[in-house]
Amino acid sequence: MLKALLFDMDGLIFDSEKVVQRSWNMAGNTLGYRNIGEHIYNTLGMNAKGRGEYFQKVFGEDFPNDRFRDLARENFYGIVEKEGLSVKPGARELIRYAKQLGYCMAVVTSSRKEYVREMFQRAGLYEYFDLFVCGDMVTKSKPAPEIYEKACKLLEVRPEYCVAFEDAPAGVESATKAGVDVIMVPDLVQPDMETRRRAWRVIRTLDEAIDILRREAREQ
């Protein structure tokens, strides 16, 4: 019996991954690291701590992670203020439909609480969700299962009664390790065979999941 829907954020609800990539390139250029935005493909789903460890592994212990993070954040918000941040196709429709059906809904993201709150409030979607579990609330980032385990515990819903929505392989792995079925909506990275095997469904846009929820509602 399906009781709760768990949503990733960046690249799933918001078309933000490309903006992050641009902000990284701008920060990297300032610090003398060219095309650093290409590394987003290797860090999807990681929290700030995980990304910092990744960059120091790739570029060396002297990589100025704090300065890079501050510059990238400044660049990101500058782009968002100037250009806005669009909601992904089908996201509003699915979220509203799920709310009408009475599902518990949580955002399960590696991003920071302050950023998450601001983006959802800007989009007018904050009030739809019962819970936000963010990257600075856990020790291990995706693909570790900790963040999904925490979400299920806080919602007081067993993993087998939840479905997660994810756009990246690390998120799919995180949810399935926690015992949560996953509907994948690929963004920057297309799923390989292993990710397809892990995912319960792979769809193109979030509103395609409305039919899945409709069938679930009829069967319950």
pLDDT digits (tens, 9 = 90+) for 133-175: 999 999 998 999 999 999 999 999 999 999 999 999 999 999 9
Across the chain, the runs of DSSP E, i.e. the strands, are 4-7, 104-108, 131-133, 162-166, 181-184, 201-202
Per residue in 82-98, pLDDT tens?
Answer: 888 899 999 999 999 99
How many CA atoms lie within 13 Å of 51's alpha carbon, on the beta-carbon side? 24
Label residue 47 by pLDDT band (50, 70, 90): confident
Looking at residue 125, what is its pLDDT?
A: 97
- Edge to edge, the sheet with strand 4-7 lists 131-133, 104-108, 4-7, 162-166, 181-184, 201-202
Per residue in 178-217, pLDDT tens?
Answer: 999 999 999 988 999 999 999 999 999 999 999 999 988 7
Superfamily of domain covering 4-15+86-219: HAD superfamily/HAD-like (3.40.50.1000)
Residue 49 has pLDDT above 90, yes or no: no
Looking at residue 189, what is its pLDDT?
A: 86
Domain ranges within the chain, ordered by starting residue: 4-15+86-219, 17-83
What predicted TM-score, i.e. pTM, was given to this entire model?
A: 0.88
Looking at residue 217, what is its pLDDT?
A: 78
Residue 16: helix, strand or coil by DSSP?
Answer: coil
Residue 219 has pLDDT above 80, yes or no: no
Per residue in 116-131, pLDDT tens?
Answer: 999 999 999 999 999 9
Looking at residue 109, what is its pLDDT?
A: 96
